[in-house]
Structure 1
Amino acid sequence: MRITRNLRIWAGAPLAAAALIALGAGTASAAIPINKPMTGKATYYTDAGYGACGTQINASTQLLVAVSHTWWTTANPNNDPLCKGIAVKVTYQGRTITVPVKDKCPSCDSTHIDLSQPAFATFAPLGQGVINGLSWQFVKTGLAGRTIPLTDPITGSTIGR
């Protein structure tokens, strides 16, 4: 009897661990508020090398964004949902650009984004250093980096445009 109960406990442990991993993965994806407008600030950076998503970046020449460490949900950022077709749509003074998430900003709070140098220059001179009061939102992109419009399943209208 004792052996059977111990075997049941040992056999159930992997199932419980798998369930916790599956729940954690679902939560990570849900943590990114897709198409939810936010107001905050932007700075810029010029790092080159490997970004948090594990790909080569050059923030001095490429259009990209580093988002706050608070939005990252996995221990290995290469596997984070942010690295799987997520971009940031940024709007300021009538101009809008959409830039892919390629990096993590360790010093940014949740409404602060760190744009690459050319992305920042779209909105303000680099000497300004900080842009306050811009709006931005996470959006899903296709494999080619195009924004995918989301459709309301009830009305059929496009969401977040």
Structure 2
Amino acid sequence: MQLQSCILVVLLAAFGSAIADTTCQLSIEKAKLRASESHLRIRGHINVGNNDCKPTSNENENVTTTVIFKAKKNFNFQDANNITHSGNECNVTASWYNKPDEYNSNKDKTQVFVPLRFIEEIKCNKDVSTKKPKHPTKTEKVTTRRKSAKKISKKTAKKTAKKTSKKTSKKTSKKTNKEASNESSSDSGEHYSGQATFFTPNQGACGDWNDDSDYIAAIGGSLYGGYSSESKYCGKKVKVVNKDNGKSVTVTIKDACESCDKTHIDLSPAAFAQIGKFDTGILKVDWYIQ
């Protein structure tokens, strides 16, 4: 009788241990994940690894569930500790179990909600390693110091260069603005001092079609020549300098302006905007045919 009692106690203990250590598994293919502040909702083709597992009804049940899911695309989500996980394959270990349920009243569409508070561990294939770096050797320390010194010297050199260039640019910019109206291009063959206006381009006298965004110009009819043939100026570059602010733009001659005199140049809107404001309408300029 005593022997039977002992055997019964052993069997009950073993059965109780089996219940306490219940292991469940959910494998999810073609998974789609959505994370909230409290749950992970995972949808896909869900396979149940242990049909004997029963949903946990309270937090004291010792059930360990491994959720393995794979997706086509990488995803990012946070666990209960606000640690970000990423990848398209993840293993989630939780002290919880729940059977998948259908959604949209479709047996082929199943989902499961995993409470974040029950999750013990998450491992994804794109997670950033949290291993601490090994302590550097003496040689590595020296190398690191040398590299750091080089970086610092480069940064210092850049800062110094910036400061120097700023000072230099401030000094030279004043001279440039004053002298810009009087300077001529080294390649210029002809120089005119007059006015600039703007026009709406279309098919020019040179034969090309242009629009507002092209950097082109039309020159006076007397300078362009006869309209029966293409002018020798077609396709030539012109540097136009605003006398008031020193700003300049380079354009290509593509058209003729019959009403413009010889020192008047008509610019496309894009070119005009580079050296002046539209509300001004007329600019005093020097322009150089290159």
Q: TM-score range by the shorter chain?
A: 0.5 to 0.7
Matches within 5 A, 1:105-120: 105-120=257-272
Q: What residue number does 1:128 align with?
A: 280
Q: 1:91: how far off?
A: 1.1
Q: 1:73: how far off?
A: 2.5
Deviations 1:94-131 (A, max 9, x none): 22221000000011000010000011111111111111
Q: What residue number does 1:52 align with?
A: 205
Do the aligned residues in 1 keep the contact of 2:205 with 2:227 (CA within 8 Å)? Answer: no
Matches within 5 A, 1:74-89: 74-77=226-229, 79-83=230-234, 85-89=235-239
Q: Which has the higher strand share?
A: 2
TM, length-normalised to structure 1: 0.58
Q: 1:75: how far off?
A: 3.9
Q: Distance in 2 between matches of 1:71 and 1:99?
A: 17
SS of equivalent residue, structure 2 residue 222: helix
Q: 1:74: how far off?
A: 3.5
Correspondence for 2:253 among 91, 101, 106: 101
Alignment size in residue pairs:
101
Q: What residue number does 1:39 align with?
A: 193
SS of equivalent residue, structure 1 residue 55: coil
Q: What residue number does 1:90 align with?
A: 240
Runs of at least 4 residues of structure 1 off by over 6 A?
none
Q: Distance in 2 between matches of 1:73 and 1:81?
A: 9
Q: 1:137: how far off?
A: 1.4
Q: Distance in 2 between matches of 1:118 and 1:62?
A: 6
Q: 1:37: how far off?
A: 2.1
Q: Distance in 1 between matches of 2:195 and 2:207?
A: 25
Q: 1:53: how far off?
A: 0.4
Q: 1:61: how far off?
A: 1.6
Q: Distance in 1 between matches of 2:189 and 2:250?
A: 12
Q: Distance in 1 between matches of 2:218 and 2:275?
A: 17
TM, length-normalised to structure 2: 0.33
Q: Distance in 2 between matches of 1:75 and 1:127?
A: 32
Q: Alignment identity in percent?
A: 34
Give the number of the structure with larger relative contact order, counting CA–CA contacts within 8 Å between residues 6 or more apart: 1
Q: 1:46: how far off?
A: 1.3
Where do 5+ consecutive residues of structure 2 fail to align? 1-187
